[in-house]
Structure 1
Amino acid sequence: MERSRTFGWEDPGILNAAMGQDSGLAVMRDWLAGRLPDPPVAAALGMTLEEVEQGRVVFALVPGEEHYNPIGSVHGGIYATLLDSAAGCAVLSILPKGTRYTSLDLNVKFLRPVTVDTGKVRAVGTVLKSGRRTAFAQVELVDSADRLLAHATSSCMLFPA
């Protein structure tokens, strides 16, 4: 039986414009509170922002069949996107107004398979170190029992908006 999924998103320019108006933490808090829309990638994957504090963010995802690869588990690219989002947004949460970031690298270690039976997973991103031009973050992907499913580290380049 064929399955389908429909989703929508708001103008990504709204969130992008907010980045130049306030600190990264303020933007992230407005996003969490629903005063700013989710970016389209969040709608496409079904991931949600659950927690924000300076230097730490949590994204969540309930795995579905739409995330599956040919071997019957969640595709590694879904993990990587969730991990990259948590690392980048953890960095964003420490940035002052007028500063942006972009990912330079993402090193991912897949430790356990994720399926629909896994239930909700959380990507907990934290900043390890930040300088004038570069910031480093790590992310742990965990299940509801806090079992480690994947781990990632990321370097981000910082630059003026």
Structure 2
Amino acid sequence: MTAHTTDGTDTTGSTRRREHEWSDPAALAAAATELDGLEFLRRIADGRLPGAPIGSLVGFRPVSAEPGRVVFEFEPAEHQYNPIGSVHGGVYATLLDSACGCAVHSTLPAGTGYTSLDLSVRFLRRITVDTGTVTCTGHVVHAGRRTALARAELTDAGGKLLGEATSSCMILPGP
């Protein structure tokens, strides 16, 4: 067990600190009802709208959005590690779920929402800070009136597949 000082640092000096900031999620959600999904996601990617709080918490950011396709980038960091020294599977799952859902969102008209019905994740390779920038690409496989199916892949800078997921989403028509 590590001894700690009153300011929270351990006596070996190995404690790290991270601060987190985010924008009001209610304002972002309101914009989502006024814009079609593609325009909404493009405005987040180019900085005209703030990103979702989960993106800043986990450490990923949207890069681009096209109809039925989105791309995120992710910088692995120590604060995302599991006890055995690699990025926790929940981080993979969060990023893959976001890419699948946003790919579906990019096809929806203003005032129409979605929610994930399921998520099936496959972990293929470990991710560490040495992996470098990871790209997560999500695309719609099938878009129906009530449900959609999306797939996402995590790749390293060399294109090596690190993980993948599929997700079914329920389409939530607006009022």
TM range (shorter): over 0.9
Q: CA RMSD in A?
A: 0.7
> May I ask how many residue pairs the two structures share in their alignment?
161
Aligned partner of residue 34 in structure 2, secondary structure: coil
| Percent of residue pairs bearing the same amino acid type | 55
Mapping of residues 11-90 of structure 1, within 5 Å: 11-90=24-103
Find the aligned partners of 1:7 and 1:136 in 2 and give their Cα distance.
32
Aligned partner of 2:135 in structure 1 is 122
8 Å Cα contact 1:30/1:36 also seen in 2: yes
TM superposition score normalised by structure 1: 0.98
Q: Which has the larger radius of gyration?
A: 2
Give 1:97 deviation, angstroms. Answer: 1.2
Given the alignment, which residue of 150, 153, 170 partners 1:140?
153
Q: Shift in Å at residue 13 of structure 1?
A: 1.0
CA contact (8 A) 1:14 1:37 kept: no
Q: After the TM superposition, list the runs of 4 or more consecutive aligned residues in structure 1 that deviate by more than 2 angstroms.
A: none
TM-score by length of structure 2 reads: 0.90
Deviation at 1:14? 1.4
Q: Which has the higher contact order (CA 8 A, sep 6+)?
A: 1
Shift of 1:19: 1.3
Whichever residue aligns with residue 106 of structure 1, its letter is L
Unpaired runs of at least 5, structure 1 = none
| Pairing 1:111–2:114 present | no
